[in-house]
Amino acid sequence: MAGRGRPKMEISLYDKYIKGKEDLIIADCRNGADNKGLCVRLGIGLTTFKSILKKHPEVIDLLKEGKDEADMKVESALYKRAIGYDIEETTTEVKIGEDGSGQTTVVKKTKKHVAGDTTAQIFWLKNRRPNEWKDKQDVNVTNDDWVDALKSLTSSYKNGDKG
């Protein structure tokens, strides 16, 4: 009974799940989606998604485009938080006359400086200048005078001389 019905057209995974959704993919990546999140959004499994990536490098370029933009925004925000920034705060007050009549609206604008955050500064420096800002410092003591002094203190302590 082969040959009955309409002939099946093979549609590629790319055509089925990606084509026409390129802007959606870029937007999701721009908003911080990872590959698992994209799979949920596209309605496919991670294995299928990886298969599409292998066969269609242009999809990798889409992901990179969206993720790079998101990374730049985060870097900019981290830098701004590290060095501090100025903001303008607006408050509105409504004043009613003593006799209950009439309203006066007063708008106050105040400029404030948000100080740099030391945690953001440390994070930035550890990642941008790891040799100068790593937590563990390698210190090599090669001064023989110090080593000799420590040995003599240790041996005199072991021998009962505590002074």
Q: What is the mean pLDDT of residues 18-30?
A: 93
Q: How does pLDDT run across 91-144, given as a tens digit for each residue?
A: 988 888 777 777 778 889 999 999 999 999 999 899 888 888 887 766 665 667
Token pair of 101 as six digits: 């009549």
Query: Strand, coil or helix: what is 107?
Result: strand
Q: How confident is the model at residue 9 (pLDDT cuts 50, 70, 90)?
A: confident
**Is 0.85 surpassed by the pTM of this model?**
no
How does DSSP classify residue 100?
A: S
Is it the case that residue 39 has pLDDT exceeding 90? yes
Residues with Cβ within 8 Å of 37's Cβ and at least 6 positions away in sequence, in order, are 28
Q: Quick one: how far is CA 55 from the chain centroid? A: 29
The amino acid that residue 49 corresponds to is F
Q: Tell me the C-alpha distance between 133 and 52, whole Å.
A: 41
Q: Tell me the C-alpha distance between 62 and 59, whole Å.
A: 5
Greater pLDDT, 52 or 1: 52
What is the pLDDT at residue 161?
Answer: 58
